[in-house]
């Protein structure tokens, strides 16, 4: 579903407030928001495969332990069902009781392929890499294994789809937090992030697509900041279609 015009900008605090209000005020389960997010991602992932003539290509989805990783696990289900060869690289194990943990468990019951990040080099020629490591909540420098994985993604030279915001990019300031993924395309949920207008972020975000996740319009209007005129970048658009569609 295409996002309504004008678009909206949501900073880190606004994103948290929107998610919380959707659950607490409107009774929308978090798992429903994650499912909608994953379907928006699937539309773009399949589009990228078609545009690169990869067809039923190999998609490597690098998942962290939080909700961003949960979106990645849910995406893996949709790609698997659409006939793509989805492989999940597990950077962090989600807690079983969370929405991310539920999607992880479903993928494992479905037999979706998964590897540890120590085996990333085996899939360096993937047709598409999905960055589902960190989301908008990241506000400290990336360190350790996560930093190494981000560097690996950037050095592959493969097309990269970022979930909500490229991992390592501060969604408010647009500055890399030590190291950040360089995305070919970013599916930003609900609205634009302030970072997308910043010069430091331009080499990292790629094409920006706004993905609808089913948040009530009233919440977005109350908690987001409306943009006037056109989106702030000529290569930004709203998501449309459904997973497995040809559009």
Which residues have C-beta within 8 Å of that of residue 20, sequence separation ≥ 6? none
Tens digits of residue pLDDT in 115-138? 999 999 999 999 999 999 999 999
Asked whether 173 and 195 are in contact (CB, 8 A), the reply is yes
pLDDT band at 111 (very low <50, low <70, confident <90, very high): very high
Q: Looking at the DSSP assignment, which residues form a beta bridge with residue 115?
A: 89
Provide the H-helix boundaries in 52-98: 67-82
pLDDT given for residue 246 in this prediction:
31
Between CA 5 and CA 12, with CA 9 as vertex, the angle to 5 degrees is 150
CB-side exposure of 153: number of CA atoms within 13 Å?
34
Tens digits of residue pLDDT in 38-85? 999 999 999 999 999 876 799 999 999 999 999 999 999 999 999 999
Both structure tokens of 209: 């697509």
pLDDT given for residue 228 in this prediction:
60
Residue 241 pLDDT exceeds 60: no
Tens digits of residue pLDDT in 146-157? 999 999 999 999
What percent of the chain clears pLDDT 70, i.e. is strictly above it?
A: 89
Which residues have C-beta within 8 Å of that of residue 168, sequence separation ≥ 6? 134, 138, 142, 147, 150, 176, 177, 178, 179, 180, 181
Residue 234 pLDDT exceeds 50: no
Both structure tokens of 136: 């908008």
Both structure tokens of 84: 């793509």
Q: Which residue, 199, 231, 244, is CA-closest to 79?
A: 244
Residue 247 pLDDT exceeds 50: no
Which residue ranges make up each domain of the chain? 8-238
Asked whether 198 and 161 are in contact (CB, 8 A), the reply is no
* 53 burial via Cβ count (<10 Å: 0-12, 13-18, 19+): exposed
Q: How far apart are CA 232 and CA 127, in angstroms?
A: 29
CATH class of 8-238: alpha beta
Read off the pTM: 0.91
pLDDT given for residue 206 in this prediction:
97
In terms of average pLDDT, the best of 18-32, 215-229, 230-244 is 18-32
């Amino acid at each position: 579903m295409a996002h309504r015009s004008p678009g909206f900008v949501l900073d880190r605090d606004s994103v948290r407030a929107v998610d919380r209000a959707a659950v607490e005020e409107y009774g929308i389960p978090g798992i429903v928001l994650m499912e909608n997010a994953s379907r928006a991602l699937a539309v773009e992932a399949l589009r990228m495969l078609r545009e690169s003539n990869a067809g039923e290509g190999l998609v490597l989805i690098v998942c962290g332990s939080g909700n961003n990783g949960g979106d990645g696990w849910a995406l893996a289900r949709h790609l698997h069902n659409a006939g793509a060869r989805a492989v999940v690289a597990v950077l962090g194990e989600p807690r079983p009781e969370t929405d991310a943990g539920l999607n992880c468990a479903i993928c494992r019951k479905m037999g979706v392929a998964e590897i540890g990040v120590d085996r990333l080099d085996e899939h360096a020629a993937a047709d598409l890499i999905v960055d589902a490591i960190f989301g908008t909540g990241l506000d400290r420098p990336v360190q350790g294994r996560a930093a190494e994985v981000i560097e690996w993604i950037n050095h592959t030279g493969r097309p990269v789809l970022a979930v909500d915001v490229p991992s390592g990019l501060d969604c408010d300031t647009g500055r890399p937090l030590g190291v950040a993924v360089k995305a070919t395309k970013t599916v930003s949920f609900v609205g634009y992030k302030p970072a997308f207008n910043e010069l430091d972020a331009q080499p990292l975000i790629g094409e920006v697509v706004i993905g609808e996740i089913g948040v009530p319009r009233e919440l977005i209007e109350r908690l987001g900041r409306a943009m006037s005129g056109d989106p702030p970048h000529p290569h930004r658009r709203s998501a449309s279609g459904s997973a497995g569609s040809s559009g």
